[in-house]
């Protein structure tokens, strides 16, 4: 099979319920598959562990931007009040950190929100206007009651003959090869 054919194909199989999805994810992970995905109409507790996914980098991204917002907002106000244009107002010291807290808090929350939004877009590789699974008529059930597992042809463990049999053995039915 040519390399260009492998990059756009997946094999999609339907499983029965949440327990079937978790079982299929664990079996694929234990079977050595790395490039597979699970589709569900709602979040499934424990699916990340069953798939062998690492912890998300989003918390680190948001925490970094929150620290930048906190430090930047505080330093900006300190610089303006104490260094750039020092004014004694009502006998308060130049570095009156209590007065700086509302703006510091607001900028910290603002940068955290932007980091969350854009971080999620980047980490989830969005916007994605097309996916091979959209070519399947059965896949429309994923928004209501369907549970699916998809394995990419680019997975190092993928074999065109053995993988469909393996998927059937772990409980997948209605297998489809989707190219798009």
Alpha-carbon separation of residue 151 from 22, 48, 50, 90, 179 (angstroms): 15, 16, 15, 68, 12
pLDDT in tens, 70-95: 999 999 999 999 999 998 888 888 88
Q: How far is residue 11's CA from residue 25's CA, in Å, rounded to a whole number? A: 14
Would you state the pLDDT for residue 84?
93
Residues 133, 5, 152, CA angle at the centre, nearest 5°? Answer: 45
| Predicted confidence (pLDDT) at residue 6 exceeds the cutoff of 50 | no
Q: pLDDT class for 21, splitting at 50, 70, 90?
A: very high
Tell me the per-residue pLDDT of 134-150, one tens digit each, with 9 for 90 and over: 889 999 999 999 999 99
* Rounded percentage of the chain residues whose pLDDT exceeds 90: 79
Lowest mean pLDDT among 47-56, 75-84, 122-131: 122-131
For the chain, give every domain's residue range: 3-55+126-179, 58-123
Q: What is the mean pLDDT of the chain?
A: 92
Q: State the Cα–Cα distance between residues 160 and 171, nearest whole angstrom.
A: 18
Task: State residue 91's pLDDT score.
Answer: 84
Per the CB < 8 A criterion, the answer to whether 73 and 103 are in contact is yes
* pLDDT band at residue 41 under the 50/70/90 scheme: very high
Look at the pTM and tell me if it is higher than 0.85: no
């Amino acid at each position: 099979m040519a390399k260009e054919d492998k990059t756009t194909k997946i094999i999609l199989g339907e499983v029965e319920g949440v327990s079937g999805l978790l079982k299929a994810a664990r079996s694929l992970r234990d079977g050595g598959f790395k490039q597979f995905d699970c589709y569900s109409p709602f979040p499934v507790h424990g699916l990340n562990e069953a798939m062998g996914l690492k912890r998300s980098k989003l918390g680190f991204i948001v925490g970094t931007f929150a620290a930048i917002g906190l430090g930047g907002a505080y330093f900006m106000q300190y610089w303006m009040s104490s260094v750039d244009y020092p004014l004694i107002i009502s006998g308060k010291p130049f570095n009156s950190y209590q007065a700086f807290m509302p703006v510091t808090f607001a900028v910290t929350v603002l940068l955290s929100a932007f980091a969350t939004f854009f971080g999620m877009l980047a980490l989830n590789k969005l916007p994605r206007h097309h996916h091979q699974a959209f070519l399947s008529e059965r896949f429309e059930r994923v928004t209501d009651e369907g549970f699916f597992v998809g394995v990419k042809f680019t997975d190092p463990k993928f074999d065109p003959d053995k993988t469909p049999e393996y998927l059937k053995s772990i409980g997948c039915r209605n297998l489809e090869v989707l190219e798009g």
